Chains A and B, each alone.
Chain A
Amino acid sequence: MEANPRSTGRLPAAFLTPGSSSFMDFLADHSPDLLPGNRKLPEGIVEAPHGTTIVAATFPGGVVLAGDRRATMGNMIAQRDIEKVFPADEYSAVGIAGTAGLAVEMVKLFQLELEHFEKVEGATLSLEGKANRLSTMIRGNLGMAMQGLAVVPLFAGWDEGKEKGRIFSYDVTGGRSEEHGFAATGSGSIFARGSMKKLYRADLTEEQATTLVVQALYDAADDDSATGGPDMARRIFPIVTVITDEGFRRLSEAESSELARSITERRLEQPDGPRAALL
């Protein structure tokens, strides 16, 4: 390499080569060692903190994406207040389950990929385009996934063309599928999905949708030891984000604590949560 970006010499040729608007393509060309997929795989099984449950639900006018705050390593709680839901750009968000370190790196690179495209092209990618980019990144992590270091995100965003909120789920091989209504990923996803199945309706308001996802996280934490419920003593509450045509918004701590408090209070009377009609 004739020069590196850390020095203040002339910009190397790779910087001035026209053609690609992708930051990952540029990295592959200029500093391939910085791309997560290009690293040598470790021998044997690596123990690392894992993030757990992410849930999402659409409502007319937008989509909500939320996650609990726990990371586990084996049977130990590795972190109580980890953040697993991030804005991807102004109109989309990504929530991650799986190996926390790799997932956070993937999100950082994904955010940059979208921002880089936007700056170079002067226009944003379509929502489908963003979802496909994330697919490629997960596929690049397949080798790690085979060794137990999988990253499985949930992607949600506002589709400006179709004027609605949409959710995309992934598998470890990068397979992408659009989810209609609601979706969940991570260890507590089975319970969260069961909860949302009984509570979800297509005509929810934004406020009801945020209540729905926090209820689902409560149910996941109730039955899955790796998912953390609202921690009233330490004031650690789920991260809830809303994406509408006005863009990405994360509920403030006051809002999410109020939401978690009202749900926990009702659960003191009815531990299993709201009941759906039998027929």
Chain B
Amino acid sequence: MSTPFYVSPQQAMADRAEYARKGIARGRSLVVLQYTDGIVFVGENPSRALHKFSEIYDRIGFAAAGKYNEYENLRIGGVRYADLRGYTYDRDDVTARGLANVYAQTLGTIFSSAGEKPYEVELVVAEVGSEPEGDQIYRLPHDGSIVDEHGSVAVGGNAEQISSFLDQRHRDGMSLAEALKLAVQALSRDTNGTEREIPAERLEVAVLDRTRPQQRKFKRIVGRQLSRLLEADNAAAAKTDEPSDEAPEE
């Protein structure tokens, strides 16, 4: 009879964390930044159909790096959670904090249950306030912890390097074009420090825009509107190019 190997709990958890981190690092990074009128999500995504960013509720957006099928599952769970909560109580009672808590519980339980494989995902849940002070950004790593972020956040592949790049350069009250430009700069830096060009058609961009008259503040920025914003290199030009509410041109 063979004796099973003893694995210490510390070692078991470290192995699981290592496994999840490696899975997340395989995916491309994405960044979430505050700008003067809201929150912008920017990521490199060659696919037009499989989104990294989506709308959860009126003021709440979702971003995820890692394994698509796992975060897609969590995204739909979040939409269901938010819609059920809004239906049972009121639309104002759906908050990013509540949603982030549910995600943290879910990820935490899966991470520490020996019977399940840990999710290889890292999420960002953001809520746009009516004033910049009311904006909330939560980062949810694979193990179920919650990090309350301010200004800018990066998740995915070389998130640490991108985060420190953003921390040094991001400031409050940036225009959308400025924030977008900074985000693209941050994403174009490779691990070894070299820069590469990310063409506009490989960028996925979405905003939670507090100035949008509609109740639902989430909007994707695509096509001509995106290229206009990328070209605007000074703040004055950016002012006239802020997202309008016309249907996006594809």
A interface residues, how many (CB within 8 angstroms): 24
A101 to chain B, nearest CB (A): 16
Say yes or no for A115: interface residue by CB 8 A criterion: yes
**Residues from chain A with Cβ under 8 Å of B49 in the complex:** 122
Q: For B83, what are the chain A residues with a Cβ–Cβ distance below 8 Å? A: 23, 112, 115-116, 119
Contact B56 A16 (CB under 8 A): no
> Which chain B residue has the least Cβ–Cβ distance from A122?
B51
**What is the interface size of chain B, counting residues whose CB is below 8 A from a CB of the partner?**
27
Enumerate chain A residues within 8 angstroms of B80, measured Cβ to Cβ. 14-15, 23, 26, 30, 116
Q: Which residue of A lies closest to B245 (CB)?
A: A247
Report B33 CB to chain A, min CB distance, Å: 23
Main secondary structure on chain B at its contact with chain A?
helix
Cβ of B223 < 8 Å from any Cβ of A?
Answer: no
Contact: B56 with A119, CB < 8 Å?
Answer: yes
Name the residue on B nearest A13 (C-beta): B77
CB pair A120 B87 closer than 8 Å: no
Binds A, one of B7-15, B38-46, B101-109, B168-176: B101-109
- Is the Cβ of A11 less than 8 Å from the Cβ of B56? no
Query: How far, in whole Å, are A30 and B87 apart by their CA atoms in the complex?
Result: 14
- Given A5-B88, A34-B87, A34-B88 in contact, is the A116-B109 Cβ separation under 8 Å? no
Residue A16 contacts which of B55, B76, B98, B105 (CB distance < 8 angstroms)? Answer: B76
Q: Is B54 an interface residue (CB 8 A)?
A: yes
Q: B73 interface residue, CB < 8 Å from A?
A: yes
Q: Are B76 and A31 in contact (CB under 8 A)?
A: no
Interface mask (A115-127 → B, CB under 8 Å = 1, otherwise 0): 1100110100000
Cα distance, A31 to B85, chains bound together (Å): 12
| From B73, B84, B106, contact of A18 by CB (8 A) | B73
Q: Is the CB of A10 within 8 A of B109?
A: yes
| Shortest beta-carbon distance from A171 to chain B in Å | 27
Q: Once the chains bind, are A116 and B79 in contact (CB under 8 Å)?
A: yes
| Smallest Cβ-Cβ distance to B98: which chain A residue | A8
A109 at interface by CB-CB < 8 Å = yes
CB proximity to A under 8 Å, residues B41-98: 49, 51, 54-56, 73-74, 76-77, 79-81, 83-88, 98
CB-defined contacts of B51 to chain A, threshold 8 Å: 122
Asked if residues A10 and B88 are in contact (CB atoms below 8 Å), the reply is no
- Flag if B79 contacts A5 (CB, 8 Å): no
Minimum C-beta distance from B51 to chain A (A)? 7
B84 to A5, Cβ gap below 8 A? yes
User: Closest B-chain residue to A23, C-beta based?
Assistant: B83
- In the bound complex, do residue B54 and residue A122 qualify as a contact, i.e. CB atoms below 8 Å apart? yes
Q: Give A residues with C-beta under 8 Å from B.
A: 5-6, 8-11, 14-16, 18, 23, 26-27, 30-31, 34, 108-109, 112, 115-116, 119-120, 122
Given contacts A15-B81, A122-B51, 10 further A-B contacts (CB under 8 A): A5-B88, A10-B108, A11-B77, A11-B102, A16-B73, A18-B76, A34-B88, A109-B87, A119-B83, A122-B54
Q: Which 7 A-B pairs have the closest CB atoms?
A: A15-B77, A8-B101, A10-B109, A10-B105, A16-B77, A10-B106, A11-B77
User: Can you report 22 A-B residue pairs in the complex whose CB atoms are below 8 A from each other?
Assistant: A5-B84, A8-B98, A8-B101, A8-B105, A11-B105, A14-B80, A15-B77, A16-B73, A16-B76, A16-B106, A18-B76, A23-B80, A26-B80, A30-B84, A112-B87, A116-B80, A116-B83, A119-B54, A119-B56, A120-B76, A122-B51, A122-B54
